[in-house]
Amino acid sequence: MNSLTKNDKTHRGMAGNIMQMAFLICMLLLLHPSDALSQSGRRHVNTGSNIMVEAKAGYGFLIPHRLEMEIFNSHFSSFEISISKQTFGGSRWEYMYAYPIIGLAYWYSNLGTSPYLGDAHAIYPYINFPITPPKSVRLYFRAGIGLGYLTKRFDRLDNYKNTAIGSHLNAAVSASLELRARIVNRLYFTGSIALTHFSNGSMKTPNYGINIPSIYAGVAYKLSKENAYTRSKLLPELYPYEFDGKKWFQVQFGAGLGYKNTDAEAGGSYMVYAMYANILKQVSFKSRLGFGLDVSYDGTDRMILETSSGEKLDSFIPIVKTGGNLAWELMISRVSFVLNIGGYFSGQYKTEGGIYEKFAIRYYFNQSIYTSITLKAHYARADYITFGLGYNLNIKYY
């Protein structure tokens, strides 16, 4: 019993450390300090006049996407406070994305006072992308990812009805369609339709995840009078890792490491190893398109095969999965978001299906080397998260 308790604490500690690392990387990705600098490296006169504070209240419900989650089917309120800044062209990506708003938000909900779920807290950086032209009323799309904390989690003895989440610490993802309207000089009304998601990527099972659609209303206030310079946006110089409009393609190689927990089903944690290669063509300042190849080893597959057959496997080869996919990379300065959708060529255990998806967030240290967080899923159901490094080879073909 003591050894089991010790292992459980070790797994919880590992999951917590990984989630904290993911949050720190996301903060680095979305709140990169170079955004506030001018081309000469000095702080621009605009940066002191574009800070906003915002508060909003929402009303929504938890989607019971599994039969076991019907007991959570209630409506409840949520609240968010944030601090943000209006970009003005301190980096080329700000110009290419129509000068979005970037910020940091804290979110809270009691989840309908459920005795099984407890309260939910989240803190995440976000980017608010303009959709319509700059007017007194404007439409935005906002996306954020960070760290979530749920006060209650699954426990075999004390909280076995919580099949949604197996850990306190989780990834928190937010996406919303937002309307912003100027009320007076520095005061804005905000209204939005949003989806908030909590998941730990199967680092601790069960992990059905929590999905909360909501509607929000709030106000945003600019802390100081608008600087006249902010009305004339900048078009800054290109940086080495940004697209220069010439004909390029990229060959990318990378590897990642992760682990999966199956305590709710079979018990224990298992390592996951992944390698990949992508060939992408730069089709615009923002996008790269191409295809990729994957090789992965999931320790839970070996456990399941050995359990079902009653025999130990002599080789790891039957466990290795290979696959091919279509790839798309969206560039935002040193940050990129990568989506791969494909199918498996080989692998003895594929009960989760022959189709897979990968969603990755990358940070480029320079034009060649990057770090990444990757979520792998099957038919939109999260399977595992890996953390890795990669190399990007830029090739000019004219």
Q: What average pLDDT does range 7-24 have in this prediction?
A: 49
The reported pLDDT for the residue numbered 37 is: 37
CA distance 204 to 164: 11
* pTM of the complete model: 0.81
The reported pLDDT for the residue numbered 227 is: 59
Compute φ and ψ for 233, nearest 5 degrees.
-70, 155
Residue 212 pLDDT grade (very low, low, confident, very high; cuts 50, 70, 90): very high
The token pair at 304 is 């399941």
Q: Which residue has the higher pLDDT, 24 or 86?
A: 86
Residues 115-151: pLDDT tens digits? 888 999 999 999 999 999 988 999 999 999 999 999 9
The reported pLDDT for the residue numbered 324 is: 97
Q: What does the angle CA 144 – CA 149 – CA 153 come to, to the nearest 5 degrees? A: 130
Residue 200 has pLDDT above 90, yes or no: no
The reported pLDDT for the residue numbered 159 is: 84
Residue 240 pLDDT grade (very low, low, confident, very high; cuts 50, 70, 90): low
The reported pLDDT for the residue numbered 311 is: 76
CA distance 260 to 144: 24
Say which range, 77-86, 122-131, 239-248, 275-284, has the weakest mean pLDDT.
Answer: 239-248
Residue 4 has pLDDT above 50, yes or no: no
Q: What average pLDDT does range 314-342 have in this prediction?
A: 92
CA distance 254 to 295: 11
Q: Is 228 helix (H, G, I), strand (E, B) or coil?
A: helix
The reported pLDDT for the residue numbered 38 is: 40
**Percent over 70 (pLDDT), the chain:** 80
Question: What pairs with residue 211 in β-bridges?
Answer: 197
Residue 160 pLDDT grade (very low, low, confident, very high; cuts 50, 70, 90): confident
Helix (H) or strand (E) holding 362: strand 355-364
CA distance 384 to 336: 20
Residue 13 pLDDT grade (very low, low, confident, very high; cuts 50, 70, 90): very low
Residue 314 pLDDT grade (very low, low, confident, very high; cuts 50, 70, 90): confident
Q: What is the CA radius of gyration of the chain?
A: 23
The reported pLDDT for the residue numbered 302 is: 82
Residue 166 has pLDDT above 90, yes or no: no
Domains of the chain, earliest start first: 18-231 (2.40.160.20), 248-396 (2.40.160)
